[in-house]
Amino acid sequence: MFSRILSRVGLLAALSLAFIMAGCSKEEMTVRQSTLDPKGPVAQVQFDVFMDTVWLVVVLFALVGGMLVYAVIKFRSRPGDEDKPVIVEDGHGNPLIEIGLITASIGALVIIAIPTLSAIWYTDDVPAAAVPTSKLSAWYPRVEGTRENYAQTVEEQVLEVDVIGKQWWFRFEYPQLGMTNDAKHSVPNELVIPKGKAVRINLRSEDVIHSFWVPKIAGKVDLMPGRKNHMWIQADQTGHYYGQCAEFCGDSHAYMLFRVEVLEPADFAKWVQKQKADAAPVAAGSAAEKGKALFAAKSCVMCHNVGGHFGAGAFGPDLTHVASRKSLAGAWLDNRDVAKQRALEQSTGNTENSVPVDEAKLKANLIKWIGSSGVAHGADGKLSKDVKPGNRMHYYKMFNVAGLRETNQQFTAEELDHLAEYLLTLK
């Protein structure tokens, strides 16, 4: 009877294995944050080491698991066993078998230890071999007006990006290119890097521990407050990549996402130029002009920088080009048409393809995000639902400075519309 049960269990196991194998479709292996679809050398090396461990483990599993199944079936008690003499033995084991198995285990581990060691050093910092093609002088074009902070000593370096983690968003700075928060040229939440070039990432945190993870480009490294961590990345295919904070960092940890945009090197240089340009003046008498006034009146200006308009804010994300970005609020709100994006991904089989920003969606997101401070436009007078619980725009009490919600900052629907119209001009 038991062998019948066992054979059924075996059948079930085989079926579920087939089921799992069937599940291994290409689509499932290449989802947005898949670690199984490396698009750069760092992720590739990490993937290769992972596959080494997978093959080793599969072989071991088949061997040990097979032995176990065999032993359980072969040595099950059978009718009539009761009459046989009891096995009484004081011998405990067989030294030859033991030593053999221990040696074999150590040998198996050496197989994965060697690629592991080489990958640890390879992924630690930009390899010397990558410098000649990746150093700034090799690819960054000499465009007038973009190299004022691009010192001679930097020519031989690869591009460096400072990643600063905060509850709950990322700030990206390019110190070699004069794009820092101090210089009022930082980039929130959407990191832009050139294709095929090694980039050194310096990881810093301003509050708790965060972790920088873009699975298709590189495994994660933590942002430790009070500590200077680094990593390097390189993406060999242009497109829109998805990343996420991977270390629990408080209430809204799940909302701390970010994106990486990989551009052709020439496009990257143009992008830098655009980032460093000030915002265009708003048209007189427009809704945007009223919004601009509200931006100052409602204390947005205290935390947010808008190049050419307001220069006081340094704590919150730089909004000079907010309308050009595909995401908002720590990349939790997507400024694209999600249905179109899904359709594009499915038709091309590539999640790195992206539809452009949808202005209507962006505006709705801006109103939703700012308005979640508890607006007056709800008919029942209730506070609107938090987009990001605990976010510092709405909740800031811990520094004895009150956030919008804590000071019960009210916005009418019209005010929100004006603010959004203003922000929409910041391309």
Partner 1 sequence: MSHDSHHAPVACKTELAPERSDLGLYRPDRATGWTDWLTTVDHKKIGILYGAFAMLYFLIGGVEALAIRTQLARPDNDFVTARMYNQLFTMHGTTMIFLGVMPLSAAFFNFLVPLQVGARDVAFPRLNAFSLWTFVFGAFVLNASWLFEFGHLAGWFDSFAWHKALVYTDFAPANGWFSYAPLSGTFGANGQALRFTGVGTDFWIIGIQVLGIASLAASFNFICTIINMRAKGMTMMRLPVFTWMALVTSVLIILAFPAITVALIELMFDRAFGANFFNPSAGGQPVLWQHLFWIFGHPEVYILVLPAMGIVSEVLPTFSGKSLFGYPIIVFSGAVIGFLGFAVWSHHMFTTGLGPVPTAAFSLLTMAIAVPTGVKIFNWLGTIWGGRIRFTPPMVLALGFIWMFMCGGFSGVMHSSAPADSQQQDSYFVIAHFHYVLLGGVLLGLMAGLYFWFPKIFGRMPNAPVAYLGSALVILGFNLAFGPMHYLGLAGQPRRTHTYHAGNGWETWNYVATIGAYILGIGVVIVFGNLVWTAFRGKKCGSDPWDGRTLEWSLPSPVPEYNFAQAPVVATRDAFFEHKHGAKKIGLENDGGEAGVHMPSQSWMPMVASAGFLFIGFGMPMMAMGIPHAGWLVISGLGVLFLGIWLWALEGPGGYMLKTPAPSGAPAPAETVAH
Phi, psi of 313, deg, nearest 5: -80, 140
77 binds partner 1 (CB under 8 A): yes
Host H or E run for residue 18: helix 2-23
Considering the complex, what minimum distance in angstroms separates the CB of residue 334 from partner 1? 8
Considering the complex, what minimum distance in angstroms separates the CB of residue 126 from partner 1? 14
Residues facing residue 261 across a β-bridge: 192, 240
**Nearest Cα to Cα of residue 187 among 321, 283, 281:** 321
Place of tokens 């080494």: 52
By rule CB under 8 A, what string of x and - marks binding of each residue 342-381 to partner 1? x---------------------------------------
98 binds partner 1 (CB under 8 A): yes
Considering the complex, what minimum distance in angstroms separates the CB of residue 131 from partner 1? 18
Contact present, 195 and 233 (Cβ < 8 Å): no
Residues facing residue 177 across a β-bridge: none
119 binds partner 1 (CB under 8 A): yes
Q: Which of residues 380-399 bind partner 1 (CB under 8 A)?
A: 389-390, 397-399
Candidate residues 15, 68, 296, 312; the one interacting with partner 1 per rule CB under 8 A:
68
Question: How many residues belong to the site for partner 1 (CB under 8 A)?
Answer: 105
Beta-carbon contacts of 229 under 8 Å, excluding residues fewer than 6 positions away, are: 202, 203, 204, 221, 222, 223
Q: For residues 34-72, b (16+ Cβ closer than 10 Å) or e, as one string? A: bbebbbbbbbebbbebbebeeeeeeeeeeeeeeeeeeee
Task: Give dist(CA 172, CA 261) in Å, integer.
Answer: 12
Q: Which of residues 147-206 bind partner 1 (CB under 8 A)?
A: 167, 203
Pick the stretch among 266-274, 275-283, 291-299, 330-338 that binds partner 1 (CB under 8 A): 330-338
Pick the stretch among 138-146, 191-199, 251-259, 368-376 that binds partner 1 (CB under 8 A): 251-259
219 binds partner 1 (CB under 8 A): yes
DSSP string, 245-288: --S--STTGGG-EEEEEEE-HHHHHHHHHHHHSPPPPPPTTSHH
Residue closer to partner 1, measured from CB, 253 or 270: 253
Candidate residues 207, 267, 289, 337; the one interacting with partner 1 per rule CB under 8 A:
207
Considering the complex, what minimum distance in angstroms separates the CB of residue 368 from partner 1? 14
Candidate residues 26, 75, 129, 152; the one interacting with partner 1 per rule CB under 8 A:
75
3-class SS of residue 200:
strand
Q: Which of residues 27-66 bind partner 1 (CB under 8 A)?
A: 27-28, 31-36, 43, 45-47, 49-50, 52-54, 56-57, 60-61, 64-65
Candidate residues 183, 254, 293, 424; the one interacting with partner 1 per rule CB under 8 A:
254
**Nearest Cα to Cα of residue 167 among 230, 259, 261, 254:** 254
State which amino acid sits at residue 114: I
Q: Which of residues 221-250 bind partner 1 (CB under 8 A)?
A: 221-222, 224-227, 229-230, 242, 244-250
Q: Which of residues 278-307 bind partner 1 (CB under 8 A)?
A: none
